[in-house]
C-alpha cells in the first residue's frame, strides 16, 4: 500500500471532498420475490433467483464508498449477498432501492443506452467460472469490449495482445478457451477486463474455482498488475485469508447486511461482533498482517551529523542499546550502539558517521509477518521498515510482533501459519 493510496482512502473514509470516490453506494437494497421487482428489464436471463415466496432482502441498506485505485474486498459466506451487491454496481441485478454513484454519475436511474456505454468503457467484470465465449479465440475474447464498441481490427488486436501479454498469455491468442487450463482461462478473463481500459474492475470470486497453487499465482499476478495499473477493484470472496491478503479495505457481509468495514488490521484487532471474531479466528495473521501495518515510530534516531554524547544521553533515557543513523535523504546509513558511543565520547571524537555498524535488518513495508519472524530480535536495534525509496518509516520491536500475532481474546488460537487457506473452498 502506498502512502498516496492511504491518503485517498482516508479521504474517502472521512468524506473529504478532495478525492471524489470512484464508487459511492448509499442504502442499496435488493429484495427478491414476487413484489421485489426481480423482473430485470432486459429479461434475457432464463433463471431468476426468486425461489422463496416471501420477500427477503438479499442486500439490505448497504452503504460504502470506494476510492479511486483502491482494492476493495466484499467478504462473506454464500448467501450473504456479496455477489448481489457486486452485480448491482453494474446493474446486472437491478437494485430495488438505494443510490449508486459511479464517478459522480447516478447509475441507478441511468437509461439503457448510457448504462451499456458505462459497462463497456468504465466498469468491467471478471467471473467466478471465467464466462469466456467458448466459440471465440482467446484474442477475440480479450477484445470483446472493443468489439462491442466497434473498434478497428488493428486496435482490437493490439489491445488484446497487450492485455494477453500482461497476464502472461502472449502466445495463446489463437487458441480456443477450451484448450486452456483453469488458471489460464481466468487469465483470459482478466485480460478481457483489462483490454478495455475500464477504471473499475468487478471481480466475482475470480479465483475460488482454481486449485490452491494456481490461486496463489493468480493472487500474486493480480497484486503485481494492481501495483502497475492502479485500477479500482471491487473483489468478492468467501475466503478471509484472500480478502486480508489482497484488500486495502474489507467489507464483511452477513445476511445482506454490512457487519464491518475496515482495513485488515482494524478487523483483526477490533472485530465488530462475535460473528467477525469467529471468522477471524481462522485467519493466518502472520500472512495477513504486514510490517507496515504493525510498525511503530523508532524511539530514537540519529543523523550523521549528531553529537555522540547527545545521542548517548537520548538512548539512555529510553534504556536503548542502539539507534538507526539516517543519512540526509532519510535512508539508513547504519546503526550505532551504546558501547561505540561511549568509547567515542571518551576519545573526544565528534562525527557520528564513523561510529556505525551494519548490524541491522530492514524489510519492505509490504512484507508479511511470517517472513520477518526470523529477522526480529537479532540485533541491538529493532527490525527496520523502509518504504519504496529506502527511507526508514518505522521499526518492529519483538514485543510488537508477538502482540500482533496473538489473537485478541483467545490466545490459544494464535496462528502459526499451519492453517490452509482453502478449507472452505
Partner 1 sequence: MPEINVGAPVGAFVDWLTANFGPLFHAISTVMLVLLDAVLIVLTAPSPYIVILVLVALALLERKWGFGLFTLLAFLLILAMGLWVEAMQTLALVVVATLIAVAIGIPVGIWAARSRRVSNVVRPILDFMQTLPVFVYLIPAVFFFGIGAVPGVVATLVFAIPPAVRLTELGIRSVDKEVTEAAVAFGAKPRQMLREVQLPLAMPSIMAGVNQTLMLALSCVVIAGLVGSGGLGAVVVRGISTLDVGAGFEGGIAVVFLAIYLDRLTSALAKPRRRRTKARKAEAEPATADQPALVSS
Give CA–CA dist 330/390, Å, rounded: 8
Q: Identify the three-state secondary structure at position 113.
A: helix
User: How far apart are CB 205 and partner 1 at their closest, in Å?
Assistant: 11
User: What is the total count of residues that contact partner 1 (CB under 8 A)?
Assistant: 55
Q: Which three cell numbers stand for residue 394?
A: 518505522
Per-position x/- string for 6-45, each x denoting binding to partner 1 as judged by CB under 8 A, each - no binding: ------------------------------------xxxx
Pairing of strands 383-386, 392-396: antiparallel
Give CA–CA dist 392/362, Å, rounded: 9
Scanning residues 159 to 178, which ones bind partner 1 (CB under 8 A)? 165-166, 168-172, 174-176
String of DSSP letters for 28-87: EEEEESTTTT---SS---S--S---SS-EEEEEEEEEEE-TT-EEEEE--TTSSHHHHHH
User: How far apart are CB 36 and partner 1 at their closest, in Å?
Assistant: 16
Give CA–CA dist 189/204, Å, rounded: 11
CB 85 within 8 A of CB 62: yes
User: How far apart are CB 184 and partner 1 at their closest, in Å?
Assistant: 6
Per-position x/- string for 104-123, each x denoting binding to partner 1 as judged by CB under 8 A, each - no binding: ------------xxxxxx-x
User: How far apart are CB 47 and partner 1 at their closest, in Å?
Assistant: 6
Residue (282 or 364) nearer to partner 1, CB: 364
Length of the chain: 425
420: Cα separation from own chain's centroid = 20
Residue (58 or 184) nearer to partner 1, CB: 184
Scanning residues 177 to 206, which ones bind partner 1 (CB under 8 A)? 179-181, 183-184, 192, 196, 202
What radius of gyration do the chain's Cα atoms show? Answer: 25
Give CA–CA dist 335/332, Å, rounded: 8
Q: Which three cell numbers stand for residue 31?
A: 429484495
Binding residue for partner 1, selected from 7, 56, 149, 419, defined by CB under 8 A = 149
Residue (157 or 300) nearer to partner 1, CB: 157
Q: Which three cell numbers stand for residue 172?
A: 495463446
Residue (180 or 356) nearer to partner 1, CB: 180
User: How far apart are CB 198 and partner 1 at their closest, in Å?
Assistant: 9
Binding residue for partner 1, selected from 7, 129, 230, 361, defined by CB under 8 A = 129
**Binding range to partner 1, per CB under 8 A, among 11-19, 23-31, 125-133, 232-240:** 125-133
Partner residues linked to 24 by β-bridges = 65, 101
| Site of interaction with partner 1 (CB under 8 A) | 42-47, 87, 90, 92, 116-121, 123-125, 127-135, 144-145, 148-149, 165-166, 168-172, 174-176, 179-181, 183-184, 192, 196, 202, 214, 217, 221, 224-225, 228
Amino acid at each position: 500500500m502506498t502512502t498516496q493510496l492511504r491518503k485517498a482512502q482516508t479521504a474517502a473514509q472521512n468524506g473529504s471532498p478532495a478525492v471524489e470516490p470512484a464508487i459511492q453506494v448509499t442504502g442499496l437494497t435488493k429484495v427478491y420475490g414476487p413484489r421485489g421487482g426481480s423482473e430485470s428489464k432486459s429479461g434475457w436471463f432464463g433463471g431468476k433467483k426468486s425461489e422463496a415466496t416471501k420477500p427477503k432482502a438479499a442486500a439490505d441498506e448497504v452503504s460504502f464508498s470506494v476510492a479511486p485505485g483502491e482494492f476493495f474486498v466484499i467478504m462473506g459466506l454464500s448467501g450473504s449477498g456479496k455477489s448481489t451487491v457486486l452485480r448491482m454496481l453494474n446493474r446486472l441485478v437491478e437494485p430495488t432501492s438505494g443510490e449508486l454513484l459511479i464517478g459522480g454519475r447516478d447509475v441507478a436511474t441511468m437509461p439503457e443506452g448510457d448504462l451499456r456505454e458505462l459497462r463497456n468503457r468504465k466498469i468491467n467484470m471478471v467471473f467466478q467460472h471465467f464466462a469466456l465465449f467458448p466459440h471465440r479465440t482467446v484474442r477475440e475474447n480479450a477484445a470483446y469490449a472493443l468489439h462491442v464498441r466497434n473498434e478497428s481490427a488493428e486496435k482490437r488486436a493490439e489491445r488484446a495482445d497487450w492485455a494477453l501479454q500482461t497476464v502472461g498469455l502472449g502466445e495463446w491468442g489463437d487458441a480456443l478457451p477450451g484448450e486452456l487450463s483453469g488458471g489460464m482461462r481466468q487469465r483470459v478473463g482478466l485480460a478481457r477486463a483489462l483490454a478495455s481500459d475500464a477504471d473499475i474492475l468487478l471481480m466475482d470470486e475470480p479465483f475460488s474455482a482454481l486449485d490452491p497453487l494456481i490461486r496463489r499465482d493468480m493472487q500474486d499476478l493480480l497484486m503485481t498488475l494492481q501495483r502497475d495499473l492502479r485500477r479500482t477493484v471491487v473483489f468478492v470472496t468467501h475466503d478471509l485469508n484472500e480478502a486480508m491478503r489482497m484488500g486495502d479495505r474489507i467489507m464483511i457481509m452477513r445476511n445482506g447486511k454490512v457487519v464491518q468495514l475496515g482495513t485488515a488490521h482494524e478487523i483483526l484487532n477490533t472485530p465488530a461482533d462475535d460473528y467477525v471474531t469467529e471468522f477471524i479466528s481462522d485467519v493466518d495473521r502472520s500472512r495477513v498482517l504486514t510490517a507496515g501495518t504493525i510498525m511503530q515510530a523508532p524511539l530514537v534516531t540519529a543523523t550523521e551529523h549528531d553529537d555522540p554524547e547527545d545521542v548517548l544521553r537520548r538512548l539512555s533515557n529510553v534504556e536503548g542499546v542502539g539507534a538507526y543513523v539516517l543519512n540526509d535523504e532519510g535512508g539508513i546509513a547504519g546503526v550505532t550502539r551504546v558501547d561505540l558511543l561511549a568509547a567515542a565520547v571518551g576519545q573526544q571524537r565528534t562525527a557520528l558517521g564513523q561510529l556505525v555498524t551494519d548490524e541491522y535488518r530492514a524489510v519492505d513495508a509490504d512484507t508479511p509477518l511470517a517472513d520477518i519472524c526470523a529477522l526480529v530480535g537479532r540485533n541491538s536495534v529493532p527490525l527496520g521498515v523502509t518504504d519504496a525509496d529506502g527511507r526508514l518509516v518505522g521499526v518492529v520491536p519483538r514485543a510488537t510482533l508477538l502482540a500482533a500475532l496473538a489473537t485478541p481474546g483467545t490466545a490459544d488460537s494464535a496462528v502459526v501459519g499451519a492453517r490452509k487457506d482453502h478449507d472452505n473452498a
